[in-house]
């Protein structure tokens, strides 16, 4: 008679500390666990539900401005630093962690329209409707907290007055130059009082400008003539223009994919373009119910945030046609500017209600230090949810968002209208000679032409 005995060495199973976990050995034979798929499905479902339960994206508001926040800039070298400019000419430096103003930069007469910080995080450039460009020194971040705001007000390093009101400014990545947009596009060297280069293509006001962070000599602007223009500083010339049906309010380059940029358009959509193929958008990101005012890519390049005139913030995947997340609060008004923080974990919005708001980029993310086991658990939940996200039950839960009534209604109305249009187009096509009416794909529909 053979007696089978389970033998295990005591060394392996002895815990060093009483807090240690007991060692457990599993038999991973799938025949022993025939229910694995069902188990994982239920877990995915639970994970989806838990995600909904824990979704609390709003962290806090930063108030201090006395007029609408018009623009923001993040310090690329310091995670906690954020600059915001308002319509009354006030510029503030915020400490995101404590959500307090660190210092103010008074000086602009009229609205501040553009803010940007040099890559080393030492110089702040601001421009406004008073036709001035001001350079400011950014105080070195210290542990000492500044409670009294008046002490920290500083004088600009330089003030350059130029021809027309400015609409936007952006600093080159890892370079000296910065570009302003207004009557024309000007390229500035911070040490010179006059622009080193100016571009004008067309007569309309340029309303936004953005340098390509991957390819620092390439920049894109959008103008009020509904055009998007690409420039190349190496040849100091504009390169290409594409004209759309509606105006583009802001542009953001994908920091991980230097050929791609996304344009926030007045027609409620965002259009992702490949700078090499401008005749057709790569992706149309739909979802907003009103003009998209600002856009900013996450530093990971996998998603971007948009702020809209419909009082919501949305987060899109870089290739997603619909938004992954919608943020709104009762008190948040028209959103004029949004930014992703440099560590891709937070989103900041500035709106008409004079407040800056800090949001989590992932609504249900657990903040703070995670134990490895916790992290693994989160990862597993995410993986399982991701795996079964196509199944109807989970899909419904994951996609569900509660919306304020006006927005919900506007969305419904918009959907109706779009459907009606589509129907009409279909009928028209059905009743005309075959081939006489060609359906233009959505990605091309809003592009009028590409100008050389």
Partner 1 sequence: MAGKMRKAADFTPVMYGKKRKAADSTKDRSKSNKKPNKRNKILCGGGGSDDKRKRKTGPRLPAPLRKVLGGTKRSTDSLNDSDENISSDEANDFYEYEEPLPQEESGKNRRFDVVKNYLLDPSDPVEEDENVSSEDDDNKDDYDGVSKIEKSHGWRESSEQLIDEFEDDERHLRMLQTVSGMPSEAFEGKKKKKKNLVISEAYPESEFNPSRDVLNGNGQISIEELLEPLQGKPGYTEIRKLIREDKNSTSIQAPLPRVEREMLERKAVYEQSKKDITKWEPLVKMNREAPSLFFDEDTNLGFSTVGAIASGFEPRTEFEKKMALLVNDDKVKEAHNEDGSKLLELNKISAEEYLEDRNHIAKMRSLLFRHEMKSKRIKKIKSKTYHRLLKKDRLKSVSAEMLMDPEAAKEEARKQEFKRAEERMTLKHKNSSKWAKRILQRGLEAQDEGTRAAINEQLHQHALLTRKMNTMKDSSSSSGSDDSDEDDVDENSAGSDPDEASKLFAKAKEKTLKVLQEDDEVPTSGVLSLPFMVRGLKKRKEEAVEEAKLALQEYESSLKELQDTGGEENANVGITSGRRVFGAAKRDVPKPKPSNKMKTDNYYRNSDSEDDLDENIDVGNGMKNDLQKDVNVDSGFLNEDAEVRRDSVFKSFDDVVRDPGPKTSYDVAIFASGTWKKMKKGKRVNANIKKSTVVGKPVLQNQEELSEESDTDSEGQMVDEILSAGPKPLYELPSQEELVRLAFAGDDVEEDFGKVKQEILNEEIPEPEKPNLLPGWGQWTSVQRKKGLPSWMLEEHEIAKRKREEALKKRKDAHLKHVIISEKMDKKAEKLHTKTLPYPFTSKEVFEQSIRVPVGPEFNPSTSIGAMNQPDVVKKSGIIIKPIKFEEVNAHEKTEEHREQKRSGNNQKTNKRKGAGGKRAGVRPVVVKS
Given the complex with partner 1, which of 79 and 154 has the nearer CB atom?
A: 79
For the chain, how many helices (H) and strands (E)? 6, 29
What string of DSSP letters covers 300-346?
A: TSSEEEEEETTS-EEEEETT-SBEEEEE--SS---EEEEEE-TTSSE
Range in contact with partner 1 (rule: CB under 8 A) among 107-115, 235-243, 244-252, 439-447: 235-243
CB of 356 to partner 1, least distance (A): 19
Residue 255 tokens read as: 């920091």
Number of residues that make up the chain: 452
Report if residue 258 touches partner 1, rule: CB under 8 A.
yes
Question: Cβ neighbours of residue 57 under 8 Å, at least 6 residues apart?
Answer: 325, 327, 359, 360, 363
Q: Are 131 and 165 in contact (CB under 8 A)?
A: yes
235 lines the binding site for partner 1 (CB under 8 A): yes
Site for partner 1 in 178-217 (CB under 8 A): 213-215
Residue 153 binds to partner 1 (criterion: CB under 8 A): no
81 near partner 1, judged by CB under 8 A = no
* Binding residue (CB under 8 A) for partner 1 from 237, 246, 416, 439: 237
Q: Which of residues 285-344 bind partner 1 (CB under 8 A)?
A: 299-302, 342-344
Q: In this structure, are residues 201 and 230 in contact, taking their beta carbons and an 8 Å threshold?
A: no
- Spacing of C-alpha 52 from chain mean position: 22
By rule CB under 8 A, what string of x and - marks binding of each residue 343-362 to partner 1?
xxx-----------------
Taking CB under 8 A as the rule, does residue 79 contact partner 1? yes
Interface with partner 1 (CB under 8 A), residue total 59
User: Contact at 8 Å (CB) between 347 and 337?
Assistant: no
Residue from 49, 99, 100, 240 touching partner 1 (CB under 8 A): that is 240
Q: CA–CA separation, 226 vs 75, rounded Å?
A: 30
CB 125 within 8 Å of CB 132: no
- The interface with partner 1 within residues 7-46 (CB under 8 A) comprises 26, 28, 30, 33, 36-37, 39-41, 43
Binding site for partner 1 (CB under 8 A): 1, 3, 5, 26, 28, 30, 33, 36-37, 39-41, 43, 76-77, 79, 173-174, 213-215, 218, 230, 232, 234-235, 237-240, 255-259, 275-276, 299-302, 342-345, 367, 376, 379-380, 382-384, 387-388, 390-393, 452
């Amino acid at each position: 008679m053979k007696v089978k005995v389970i033998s295990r060495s005591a060394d392996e199973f002895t815990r060093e500390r009483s807090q240690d976990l007991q060692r457990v050995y599993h038999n991973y034979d799938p025949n022993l666990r025939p229910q694995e798929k069902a188990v994982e499905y239920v877990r995915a479902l639970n994970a989806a539900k838990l995600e909904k339960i824990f979704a609390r994206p709003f962290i806090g508001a930063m108030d201090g401005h006395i007029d609408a926040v018009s623009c923001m800039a993040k310090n690329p070298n310091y995670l906690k630093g954020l600059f915001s400019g308002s319509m009354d000419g006030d510029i503030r430096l915020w400490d995101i962690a404590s959500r307090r103003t660190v210092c103010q930069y008074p000086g602009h007469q009229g609205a501040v329209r553009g803010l940007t910080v040099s890559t080393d995080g030492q110089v702040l450039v601001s421009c406004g409707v008073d036709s001035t460009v001001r350079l400011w020194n950014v105080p070195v971040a210290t542990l000492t907290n500044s409670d009294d705001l008046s002490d920290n007000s500083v004088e600009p390093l330089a003030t350059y007055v130029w021809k027309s009101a400015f609409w936007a400014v952006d600093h080159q990545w890892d370079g000296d130059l910065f570009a302003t947009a207004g009557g024309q596009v000007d390229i500035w060297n911070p040490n010179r009082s006059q622009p080193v280069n100016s571009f004008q293509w067309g007569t309309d006001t340029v309303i936004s400008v953005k340098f390509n962070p991957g390819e620092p000599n390439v920049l894109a602007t959008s103008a009020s003539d509904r055009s998007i223009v690409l420039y190349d500083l190496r040849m100091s010339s504009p390169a290409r223009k594409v004209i759309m049906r509606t105006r583009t309010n802001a542009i953001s380059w994908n920091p991980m994919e230097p050929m791609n940029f996304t344009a926030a358009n007045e027609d409620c959509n965002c259009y992702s373009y490949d700078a090499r193929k401008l005749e057709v958008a790569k992706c149309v990101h739909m979802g907003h119910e009103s003009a998209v005012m600002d856009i900013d890519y996450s530093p990971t390049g996998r998603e971007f945030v948009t702020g809209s005139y419909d009082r919501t913030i949305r987060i899109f995947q870089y290739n997603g046609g619909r938004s992954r997340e919608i943020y709104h609060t009762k008190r948040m008004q028209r959103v004029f500017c949004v930014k992703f923080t440099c560590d891709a974990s937070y989103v900041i919005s500035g709106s008409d209600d004079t407040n800056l708001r800090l949001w989590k980029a992932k609504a249900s993310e657990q903040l703070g230090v995670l134990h490895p086991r916790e992290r693994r658990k989160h990862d597993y939940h995410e993986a399982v949810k991701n795996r079964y996200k196509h199944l109807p039950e989970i899909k419904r839960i994951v996609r569900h968002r509660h919306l304020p009534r006006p927005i919900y209604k506007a969305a419904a109305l918009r959907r109706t209208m779009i459907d009606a249009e589509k129907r009409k187009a279909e009928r028209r096509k059905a009743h005309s000679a075959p081939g006489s009416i060609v359906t233009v794909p959505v990605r091309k529909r809003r592009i009028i032409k590409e100008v050389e």
